[in-house]
Structure 1
Amino acid sequence: MQFITTHTRTDFDALASVVACTFLYPGAVGVLPSMVNPEVKHFLAIHQNILRIIPRKGFDLDDVTSLIVVDANNWNRLDTMGPLAEREDLEVICWDHHMEGVTIDSCETHREEVGAAVTLLLEKMQERDTPISPMHATLFLLGIYSDTGCLRYPCVTSRDAAMVSYLIENGADLNVVSAYLDDSMDDAHTQLFGRILEESEIVNVGTVSVGICALTINSGLTSLSSLLNKFREFRGVDAAFGIFQSDSQKCMVIGRGKPRFIDIGHIMRSLGGGGHPGAGSAIIRNVSPAEAARQVQSLIDTACNDATEVRTVMSDPARFIVAADATMAQASEKFSASNISGLMICEETTLLGGLSPVDCAKAEKSGRSTVPVKGYARRNISKLAPTTCCREAVLLMTDAREGVLAVVEGDELIGVVTQTDLLLQVYDF
């Protein structure tokens, strides 16, 4: 008999991988460990009967001739499988994405560094053109999203993203996925949150308060960024960094903060990761949590005091200026010719307001294309002084309908800050 199993405290990636194997190995029996995560238990309450899996309890190992292990690489993580580990005649097949700590010696191994183990199985199913129902596609999407933080974690690969697209094309229900992947905390997360509160350190850089916690945690815990956000809100700090080690070879660093006071993305890029001023993450290899925390702390001072001014990144305003007496039709032509998202309406060098393509479309629809643009000027646009820091410009850009920000001295327009200008501050190109 051939059967499929996975690690105890089964999460959605493990469950999805077991079910995917029942497609790839017809006739194999999916055996579910006795201990599963609470959200998985809730899912199984209405889905188990149609997933072709049975509980581990009462299953006899004597008739097993072939074992398929998914999302696990260590005998200790399996549910009372010790007797099988000692059998030399047992065929073992592994599908896994954990690269370190392997103790299962398999005769056929599919182990690659992707965000979710089910991604590997889905690629094979897609290759074989295996038909799947929307319900199965939903479970498989839960598997990918739960292990990759909805494609936000640094472990994500393009292969995971490609499988998400494949599953949505096959009818995966995002409403169901959202219902099971909420931010509620189970016992394991509650205990971890307590440790974060107890073992964290608060440091102050000038007027900026930063919380740092460095912990070794159990593998398989997800929603770490949500816990970090809760910690930041609970402690009332301006920024929080969590250093979590579940693998002896690497630490995951997650940062959340207020962009007005600290640039999280700057720190994460310095650590080899990525992000933007308010959030980011990175993976540091071959260091302890304490050493990773020291690296983060050494970078905080620079990130808090990095006040790159917009005058160093702003663009020449000439391309974005339209004269106050120009017509809306002429402004529309300038939008088309220049491929820009917003215009600044000026009377000589004095800034009157902003104009967007939507304004031009409204004027054309109402037959007012010959009206001067100053009649459509939105006067309460965001204005920056040349000394305004880029972090504050990022915040203001969120509400800039024109997609550009005006840099002024007095009432004179001396430059504009575009989204591209700010992107060059957020990402390394």
Structure 2
Amino acid sequence: MPRTRRVAAALLAITQTAGGFLAPRPKCSTALRAATQEPVAEITAEPCNVVLTTTNCDFDSLAAACALASLWGRDPEFSLVPTHVVMPRGAVPVVQRFLAYHKHVLPVRGFKTIDGSDIEALGVVDASSAARLGRSKRWLSLAQSLHVYDHHVGGEGEESESLGLHATEVVVEPVGSTTTLIVERLRDADVTPSVPEATLYVLGIRADTGGLAYETTTARDADALAWLLRKGASQAAIAEFGVERISGDQRKILATALRTVESRLYRGVGVATVAVRSKGYVPGLAAVVEELLELTAADVLIMACEHQNGLDLIGRARPGAATVDLRTVMSKFGGGGHARAAAAAVPENDRKAMGAPRNVLDVAREYVLGQIPAEPTAAAIMTSAVVTLKDDATIADARRLLNAHSLKATAVVDASA
């Protein structure tokens, strides 16, 4: 018999054999299993620890989460089970690009691969409010312990959403990056990160400190950054991923925003607002807002973006708008962030109560305007009564007059007037 016929005959014999691995599988049902005596497979629990990033994960959030997972992996209190990093709702584009190259060496797992009842220790980084955890906040009540690491001093969102109310451990310190807090603990524990890990941690610190340029940056951030560079962080990768590129979708939104942005000068501060709409969720809108702020003369800019999944508010402010605290503004909508950079995913109830996105934006703008004090007048700054010097006075007369009134200058008037 030719070889091809022998193979065909063998395959046919296998398929006709009861229980053969090529035999068509019957549809699963309790009655059929009982009739065929087929054992029912039991679902095996997989105990684990989980570290959550924020929704729309940025480099600081991802880096801090991976650093905490590494720390727990070497801590006897946590190392009996594996620790996974979970992003509740995606990441900004530049983080997605980084993960495309390095996800295989990081402890990142998909949200749907975790059974909440298996979680022993739950870590939350770069957030102190449940509102920033999206769908993963259901795990808060399932975990045996909750550990919060954040650098947003002052809290975020509504007090009822505060993670500190239920946390086993809360570490919130005034540094420029959450990654810094955990890198310090890795250094103190003498844990040497791998090159990809060190590179990610550098990107995390750089992202939230603006390359050590933001006013919230501290010496601790610089020390942590220097330690990571000594541990071999890749400068080539830092150069590649340290600058966020604007995607095609982001560019379209930027073009629309430039045409529709509304600006208002209030008490010497330029406040701009813009409402845009996209067909689907567009990650990385913070980069669009930052670019828009640079292209306008505004001191404060708030964008409202409506999409099929909801409504996002993103705000940015220049250092010149010293009294404006966008973190406080966004906390009114369940969000948070920094004084100069903050965001919120507006809850559905608030959206229904306020109506159109433009209405939500107007409410946010009023919160901003309420933080801007009245401009000082000349009367508030200058002294009175006005001391003058006649133009025929001698230098000695001028010196005596200025010293008598503790002045450095005074007006000179016409003696004949």
* Matching residue's letter, 2:262: S
2:85 counterpart of 1:21: no
- Following TM superposition, by how much is the alpha carbon of 1:91 offset from its aligned partner in structure 2, in angstroms? 0.8
- Whether the 8 Å contact between 2:293 and 2:301 is mirrored in structure 1 is no
- Whether the 8 Å contact between 1:5 and 1:68 is mirrored in structure 2 is yes
1:35 aligns to what SS in structure 2?
Answer: coil
* Matching residue's letter, 1:11: D
Stretch deviating more after TM superposition (186-195 or 150-159): 186-195
Q: Of the candidates 192, 199, 203, which is equivalent to residue 261 of structure 2?
A: 199
Q: Deviations over 1:140-195 (max 9, x none)?
A: 01111112222222322222222222222222223322222324224568647744
Q: Of the candidates 49, 59, 62, which is equivalent to residue 2 of structure 1?
A: 49
1:151 and 1:220, CA in 2 relative to 1: closer, same or farther beyond 3 A?
A: farther
Q: Of the candidates 45, 54, 58, which is equivalent to residue 100 of structure 2?
A: 45
* Matching residue's letter, 1:92: L
Distance in 2 separating the partners of 1:45 and 1:284: 27
- In structure 2, stretches of 5+ residues that fail to align are 1-47, 74-78, 277-282, 305-314, 326-337, 343-362, 379-417
1:253 matched residue in structure 2: 317
2:120 matched residue in structure 1: 65
2:318 aligns to what SS in structure 1?
Answer: strand
Q: TM-score, normalised by structure 1?
A: 0.52
2:228 counterpart of 1:167: yes
- Whether the 8 Å contact between 1:13 and 1:71 is mirrored in structure 2 is yes
* 1:233-312 alignment, distance < 5 Å: 239-244=297-302, 253-254=317-318, 267=320, 289-290=365-366, 292=368
1:57 aligns to what SS in structure 2?
Answer: helix
* 1:68-79 alignment, distance < 5 Å: 68-79=123-134
2:209 counterpart of 1:124: no
1:3 aligns to what SS in structure 2?
Answer: strand
2:162 counterpart of 1:100: no
- Whether the 8 Å contact between 1:215 and 1:289 is mirrored in structure 2 is no
- Following TM superposition, by how much is the alpha carbon of 1:202 offset from its aligned partner in structure 2, in angstroms? 6.6
- Whether the 8 Å contact between 1:200 and 1:213 is mirrored in structure 2 is yes
- Whether the 8 Å contact between 1:7 and 1:71 is mirrored in structure 2 is yes
1:110 aligns to what SS in structure 2?
Answer: strand
Higher relative contact order (CA 8 A, sep 6+): 2
- Whether the 8 Å contact between 1:140 and 1:167 is mirrored in structure 2 is yes
- Whether the 8 Å contact between 1:271 and 1:282 is mirrored in structure 2 is yes
Q: Of the candidates 59, 64, 69, which is equivalent to residue 12 of structure 1?
A: 59
Distance in 2 separating the partners of 1:300 and 1:183: 40
- Whether the 8 Å contact between 1:5 and 1:18 is mirrored in structure 2 is yes
- The structure in which a higher percent of residues are strand is 1
- Whether the 8 Å contact between 2:51 and 2:68 is mirrored in structure 1 is yes
Distance in 2 separating the partners of 1:80 and 1:291: 28
- Following TM superposition, by how much is the alpha carbon of 1:110 offset from its aligned partner in structure 2, in angstroms? 1.0
- Root-mean-square deviation (Å): 4.3
Q: TM-score, normalised by structure 2?
A: 0.53
Distance in 2 separating the partners of 1:20 and 1:145: 15
* Matching residue's letter, 2:61: A
Seq. identity, %: 26
- Whether the 8 Å contact between 1:17 and 1:121 is mirrored in structure 2 is yes
Distance in 1 separating the partners of 2:171 and 2:339: 26
- Following TM superposition, by how much is the alpha carbon of 1:5 offset from its aligned partner in structure 2, in angstroms? 1.6
